[in-house]
Amino acid sequence: MNINNRYIGTILTKLQNWRIAIYTMHAVDGMAGSLIGIFIPIYFLSLGYSVAQIFIFFIINNLLILLFFFVAGWVAQRFGLLQTLVMRLIFLLINLVLLYYLKNQPSFFYFISALSAIELALYWFPLHVVFAKSSELDTMGKHVGSLFALPSLVGLFIPLIGAGITAWLGFSALFLFAGIIYLISIIPVIFMAKIPIVVNINFDRILTYLRNYKKYFVAEFFQGISSEVEGYILPIFLFLTFNDILTIGFIGTFLSLGSAIFTLFIGKLSDKIDRKQMLRAGALAMILIWVGRYFSINQISFFMLSIASGFLGALISVPFNSIFYINAKKSDVEDFVIFREIPISLGRVVLYSTGLLLVSQVKITFLFSMAAYLFMLIF
């Protein structure tokens, strides 16, 4: 009994460390996200919503995410980061309930988009702030590698499990399982030591950041596009093409496989070599992968390209996010986190707005991702 008490005490002491608590929370949260994230647009398609309606859903979602990042900053300063994450969990669980009842209440569709924007802002603002404040500049790549790799490691087969649950038990069961995991994810940060934050965002400072980080602003704009094509538009295309939800699960698992194995290695390496050289190598690799996806016609080729994307995508995600956290740490962290969301959200809004004009040819959006990585070659 004493040994167990000491063991539990050791765990609780470690969770008071900002970085360990946020790693643990993000890993568990990532499991739930992997379980349902890529299946949300598939769920909408299965209920009869058109691709155009789904694109409008994401336009509204990303515009509101930008707005609610400002709100999240205010909430975090007034009530604290832990309270912000708890508040996020409440909105998230309500959102899962509305998703559950959407098939009987179509009027919930765009309301779900708004609630999703609130919960995403209330999650990512605290996570970015805690991570930037608790990481050291000279080992930032290693820390970023861990942050991104852990959700993939613990949730390696979760997308495939999610596909199996959906195929055999339905989307309702999927939302239930995800809700349970999300509830568990909040436990690590309950014990986290209090983190002082100061949010005093103003538009003059935003303009100052824009002048000082022009190239970075454009790069984040394009990153918003490329990540959205990978995360949502690709699954939509695959489901429309192959009409097989297990294919989506396999794609998600293959992406996680490559990411889990390679991201930790790239994280350590990015602290030792030039990050921009690594970005350019990754950009060239991802351009070739998207060219392959554009011309692929069967599931096997998409599986192979997803494994490659999981591996080589780390050459982009780790050094680029390291640059973000380094920039934030050298600035006013809380304000820079809010500033950074502007180009990301704008990029995604432009992507989906343009996609509405090409809605009958979803695959053309793959070219947008290629264009995004072309910019990385000169970043």
Angular region, 101: left φ>0, alpha ψ -120 to 50, beta rest: alpha
Q: What pLDDT does residue 55 have?
A: 96
- As for how many domains the chain has, the answer is 1
Q: Which residues of 144-166 are buried (b: 16+ CB within 10 A; e: fewer)?
A: bbbbbbbbbbbbbebbbbbbebb
Q: What is the pLDDT of residue 106?
A: 92
Q: What pLDDT is stored for residue 1 in this prediction? A: 46
Domain span holding position 84:
2-376
pLDDT of residue 258: 67
- pLDDT score recorded for residue 147: 81
pLDDT in tens, 237-282: 988 888 888 888 888 777 777 676 778 778 878 788 888 888 999 9
What's the confidence (pLDDT) of residue 196?
62
Q: For residue 98, what pLDDT is reported?
A: 96
Q: What is the pLDDT of residue 11?
A: 47
| Count of alpha carbons within 13 angstroms of residue 314, beta-carbon side | 29
Residue 12's pLDDT is what?
44
What's the pLDDT score for residue 5? 46
pLDDT of residue 16: 58
Q: What is the pLDDT of residue 221?
A: 95
CATH code of residue 349: 1.20.1250.20
> How many residues appear in the chain?
379
Where the chain has pLDDT below 50, the residues are 1-3, 5-12, 15
